[in-house]
């Protein structure tokens, strides 16, 4: 969860402690609390404000539910049900020295909802057309984390949720490479689409990636994180225009082919080759393997505490990752 949404959690936490059962906020008041503008989808599409059972929204984390969203008046009511508890409790103690972690996942494969006229490449080529088409599909809009549901992404989310449960939501963030929308946050509301990066040739892929802003967005998203996991396929990595250069003290961990060892032969980058990934487990197919192994690693990291991630930060070989995976797989 990004810092701006964390401020909403803090604000509503305070209201809950004061005994407030219901509060009406204008969009302008929310923006003042966040210190940043709401995304355009929040002002135009009611589904952006929906409550989620899979990926709790900021107000749910604080123990509230949204209701009575009025787009005309630009207001929303947050209501706390009797005995409502926060959607996900924070750890009792802050984990000292816990690396701030970003997980980059692929938005590909199976979608949670479909529509006969879901978005296509030509819809993303013009901003005005995209907004009109989103209006047509407004009943099918979903937060990005709820729209993508292939096995690879499901395992990745399991790993993210495991780390958050151990270390706190503010410690671990996730970004999703959407073939149509570019790099999106979990809570960004998007429409079902049929665009796939694997459909592009190498030259066209780079042109398309530039059009939807993947290279610049990825470099901007990395800032401020100590540890960045890339759980994406080759098309996504190429769309980012490698190499991505880590900041001083930052560690990038790529689950990728041997080819990327050449691209990323630099300090601060660990490439975990997919050849070894394939030999590490036969529990899942090759498509879902990266997410599966990250989920297994997260189990051990959550159990062992921040020290596991700190050791990974200093490990060029990747052995810290492999040893954790072997522990988890061996215990299954």
What is the SS3 string spanning the chain? CCHHHHHHHHHHHHHHHCCCCEEEEEHHHHHHHHCCCCCHHHHHCHHHHCCCCCCCCHHHHCCCEEEEEECCCCEEEEECCCCCCCCCCCCCCCCCCCCCEEEEEECCCCECCCCCCCECHHHHCCHHHHHHHHHHCHHHCEEHHHHECCHHHHHHHHHHHHHHHHHCHHHEEEEEEECCCEEEECCCEECCECCCHHHCCHHHHHHHHHHCCHHHHHHHHHCCCCEEEEECCHHHHHHCCCCCCCCCCCEEEEEECCHHHHHCCCCCEEEEEHHHHHHHCCCCCCCCHHHHHHHHHHHHHHHHCHHHHHHHHCCCCCHHHHHHHHHHHHCC
Question: What confidence tens digit (pLDDT) does each residue in 13-44 have?
Answer: 888 888 888 899 999 999 999 988 888 778 87
Inform me whether the pLDDT recorded for 206 exceeds 50.
yes
**Least trusted range by pLDDT, from 45-54, 134-143, 263-272:** 45-54
- pLDDT score recorded for residue 2: 60
- pLDDT score recorded for residue 89: 39
- pLDDT score recorded for residue 213: 93
Q: What is the mean pLDDT of the chain?
A: 86
Is the full-model pTM beyond 0.85? Answer: no
Nearest partner of 58 among 7, 110, 102, 100, judged by Cα: 7
Mean pLDDT, range 141-145, rounded to an integer = 89
The rounded distance, in Å, linking the Cα atoms of 152 and 66 is: 30
Question: What confidence tens digit (pLDDT) does each residue in 247-261 have?
Answer: 999 999 999 877 787
Q: Where are the domains of the chain?
A: 3-79, 101-330
207 neighbors 197 (Cβ within 8 angstroms)? no
């Amino acid at each position: 969860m990004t810092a701006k949404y964390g401020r909403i959690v803090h604000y509503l936490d305070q209201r809950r402690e004061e005994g407030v059962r219901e509060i009406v906020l204008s969009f302008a008041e929310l923006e003042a609390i966040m210190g940043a503008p709401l995304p355009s989808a929040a002002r135009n599409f009611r589904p952006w404000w929906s409550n989620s059972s899979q990926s709790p929204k900021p107000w749910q984390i604080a123990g509230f539910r949204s209701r009575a969203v009025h787009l005309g008046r630009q207001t929303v009511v947050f209501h706390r049900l009797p005995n409502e508890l926060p959607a996900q409790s924070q750890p009792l103690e802050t984990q000292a020295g816990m690396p701030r972690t970003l997980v980059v996942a692929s938005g590909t494969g199976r979608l949670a909802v479909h529509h006969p006229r879901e978005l296509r490449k030509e819809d993303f080529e013009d901003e005005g057309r995209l907004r009109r088409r989103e209006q047509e599909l407004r009943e099918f809009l979903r937060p990005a984390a709820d729209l993508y549901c292939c096995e690879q992404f499901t395992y990745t989310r399991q790993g993210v949720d495991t780390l958050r449960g151990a270390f706190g939501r503010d410690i671990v963030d996730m970004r999703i490479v959407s073939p149509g929308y570019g790099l999106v946050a979990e809570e960004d509301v998007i429409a079902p689409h049929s665009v796939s990066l694997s459909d592009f040739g190498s030259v066209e892929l780079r042109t398309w990636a530039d059009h939807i802003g993947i290279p610049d967005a990825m470099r901007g998203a990395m800032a401020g994180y100590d540890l960045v996991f890339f759980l994406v396929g080759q098309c996504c990595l190429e769309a980012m225009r490698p190499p991505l250069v880590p900041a001083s003290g930052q560690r990038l961990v790529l689950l990728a082919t041997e080819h990327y060892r050449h691209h990323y032969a630099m300090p601060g980058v660990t490439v975990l080759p997919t050849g070894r990934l394939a030999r590490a487990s036969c529990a899942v197919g090759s498509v879902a393997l990266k997410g599966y192994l990250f989920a297994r690693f997260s189990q051990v990291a959550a159990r062992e505490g921040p020290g596991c991630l700190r050791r990974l930060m200093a490990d060029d070989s990747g052995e810290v990752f492999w040893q954790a995976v072997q522990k988890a797989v061996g215990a299954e």
